Homo-oligomer: A and B are copies of this chain.
Amino acid sequence: MTEATTHPARRPRGSAPPRAATPLRVAASAYAREGGLTAHSTFHDWYAEAGERAFARVERVPLDELDGWETDPGTGNLRHHTGGFFTVEGLEVRMPAGAVPAWSQPIINQPEVGVLGILVKEFDGVLHCLMQAKVEPGNANGVQISPTVQATRSNYTRVHGGRPVPYLDLFRDPGPRGPLVDVRQSEQGSAFHHKRNRNMVVEADGDVEVHDGFRWLTLGQLHRLLAEDDLINMDARTVLSCLPFAHEELAREFGPPADAFRAALFRSCDPYAEARHPMSAVLSWITEARTRTVVRARRVPLAGLPGWHRTPERISHSTGAFFDVIGVRVEAGGREVARWSQPMIEPHGTGVVAFLTRSIDGVLHVLMNARVEAGYIDVVELAPTVQCTPASYEHLPRSARPRFLDEVEHPDPARVRFHSVLSEEGGRFHHARNRYLIVDTDLDVPPDDPDYRWMTAHQLVELLRHSHYLNIQARSLVACLQSLLMPGEPAPTAERKVRT
C-alpha cells in the first residue's frame, strides 16, 4: 500500500480550513522552535534594541487633569472631548442566583470592534508570523511582542485621516482565499461593556516589506517566548489561540511524543479521539447555562456609584478590592514621539488563570468553567478552570471563593506543565498581570456538574471558529496549551519555584 492510500486525503471540505493542511502547516511552524528568518538566538538582542528605541514614559495624573478628557457634569462619566476612544461609566449588575446577587462597578464602554491581525507567510515552507515589538502605556515593562496590526474601527474604515496603520490594507482585503482566521472575540467582561475585537490571521501573497520594529517569527519561537514573563502581549495571545491546530494526522507527522502528557495532548488534538462529552452535549451545556443564568446589567452614571468613591487621583471601591480607575499621561514613541493622556484600569493584585488538565482514556482534557461576567454580550463564556484575583475574595463570603483555587495555588510542582506571568492589554489596563498555569491533575467532576466540563483540545479549537464561546483568559491559555505540543525546553520541575 502506498502512503496515499493508507492516509487518504478525504476530509470534510465544507468544515475544513481554507487550505487542506492548515493545522499541519501551523504545527510545522510550531515545530520550528529555533526560528527561521530570525534565528532564535538573536531574538533577545533585537527585542532589547527595540525596547530602547520604542519607549514609554507614563506618569500618573489626577483624573481632572487628563488632557482631552472631561467629566460629564450630569453623569460623572469620563469621556474624551471628541466623543471618541472610550468612556468610563457605571454598571449596575443584578445576578439573583450568584454568590453576590447585586453590585455596581465602573466599566469601560468601547462599542467599536477593532482588528487584531497577524500576517503570516511561508519562508522555506515554514509559516512565519510578522510580529511587532510595541510599547503600550500599561505594560509594566514597556515593549511587548504584539500582532502585526492592532487597529481601531476608525483606522479600519478610514473614517479619520491620520497616519495609516502599517499592513492594515492586507487585512482589509485578504485576497480571494480569505483569511485563515477571522472571528470576533470578547475581552474582559469584568472591565469592558460588550467589548470585542476581530481576530484575524491573513497569509500574504506577495513580498512584504518589514518595517522597523517588526520581525518574522515562527510559531515555535512564539511558543518559547510565551514561557517568558510579560513578553507576548494579550492581543498576540488571543489571535494565536484562534489558529486551528487540531488534526488527525498530527501524531503521524510530528509524533508520537515520548512523554505521556504530550502524547495525551496529541490525541486531544485528534478529532477522532474519544471526548468525555460529545460536542452536542457541550453545546447543550452552554445553551443551558446561558438560558438559566439571569444577569441584568444596566449602564448607570459613574457619579454616586454605590460602594465606589472618587478622589482626585482615582476611583476606588470602599473595600480597596477589585480595581481602581486612574489617570496617566503618556509620552511614547519609536520613530515619532506621541503624547496623550487617558484613564486606565489598575487591578489590585496579581491574578491566577489556570487550566486543570487530565488524561481520560489517554486523551488530554481541559476543565472548562461556564463563567458569567457582567460585560459579556451573551451572559456566559467558557473560562479557565480558575480565573480570579485571590485578593478580591478576601472580603467576600467563603462560598464565593472559586473552586479549584487551592489546587492551582499549591500544585505538585512536577505536574505544572506551563507557568508564566503574562500581562493583560496595556492600552486599557495598568500593570495588569496574571499568573498563567497549566496543571495536570487526577481530580474529577461529576459529568453533570452545572459549571464545569472536561473538554478536548479539538473541541476548544472547533469552538474558537465562532464568536464568544471562549473568554479572553481561556484563549490565552489555549495559546499556552498549543505551546506544549512540540518538544522544547523541559517542563518546569521542582527546581523552578512556582510563585504562589
**A residues touching B (Cβ–Cβ < 8 Å)?**
10-18, 113, 153, 174, 176-184, 198, 271-275, 277-281, 283-285, 287-288, 290-291, 377-378, 447-448, 456, 458-459, 462, 465-467
Contacts and interface: CB of A to CB of B under 8 A. Distances in A.
B272 A11 contact: yes
A182 B272 contact: no
24 contacts: A10-B272, A12-B271, A12-B272, A12-B458, A13-B272, A13-B273, A13-B275, A13-B278, A14-B273, A14-B456, A14-B462, A15-B271, A16-B278, A16-B280, A17-B278, A174-B284, A176-B448, A178-B284, A180-B280, A183-B287, A184-B287, A198-B291, A283-B466, A377-B377
Given A15-B15, A17-B278, A466-B466, 18 more contacts: A11-B272, A12-B458, A13-B278, A14-B278, A15-B279, A18-B280, A18-B281, A153-B291, A176-B447, A178-B278, A178-B281, A182-B283, A182-B284, A182-B288, A183-B287, A184-B287, A283-B466, A287-B467
A448 B177 CA distance: 10
Given A13-B271, A447-B176, A184 B18 contact: no
Q: In the A-B complex, list the 4 residue pairs whose CB atoms are closest, starting with the nearest.
A: A12-B271, A182-B284, A178-B281, A14-B275
A113 B466 CA distance: 21
Contacts of A456: 14
A12 B278 CA distance: 10
A127 B14 CA distance: 27
Given A272-B11, A280-B178, A280-B180, A287 B16 contact: no
Which of A177, A184, A281, A284 has the most chain B CB atoms inside 10 A of its CB? Answer: A284
Contacts of A274: 13
Contacts of A113: 291
Contacts of A16: 278-280
Given A14-B275, A273-B13, A291-B198, A280 B448 contact: no
Nearest to A11: B272
A393 B284 CA distance: 40
Contacts of A447: 176
Nearest to A275: B14
A280 B459 contact: no
Nearest to A113: B291
A372 to B, nearest CB: 15
A465 B272 contact: no
Given A14-B456, A14-B458, A113-B291, A465 B182 contact: no
Given A113-B291, A176-B447, A280-B179, A14 B184 contact: no
Nearest to A12: B271
Contact of A459 (B14, B178, B180): B14
A17 B448 CA distance: 18
Contact of A17 (B181, B280, B462): B280
A284 B175 CA distance: 12
A18 B287 contact: no
A243 to B, nearest CB: 11
B281 A177 contact: yes
A173 to B, nearest CB: 10
Contacts of A272: 10-13
A283 B273 CA distance: 25
Contacts of A377: 377-378
A456 B113 CA distance: 29
A47 to B, nearest CB: 32
Nearest to A463: B466
A176 B180 CA distance: 36
A179 B275 CA distance: 17
A392 B289 CA distance: 40
Contacts of A10: 272
B283 A465 contact: yes
Contacts of A153: 291
Contact of A184 (B11, B182, B184, B290): B290
Interface centre among A13, A16, A273, A290, by most B CB within 10 Å? A13
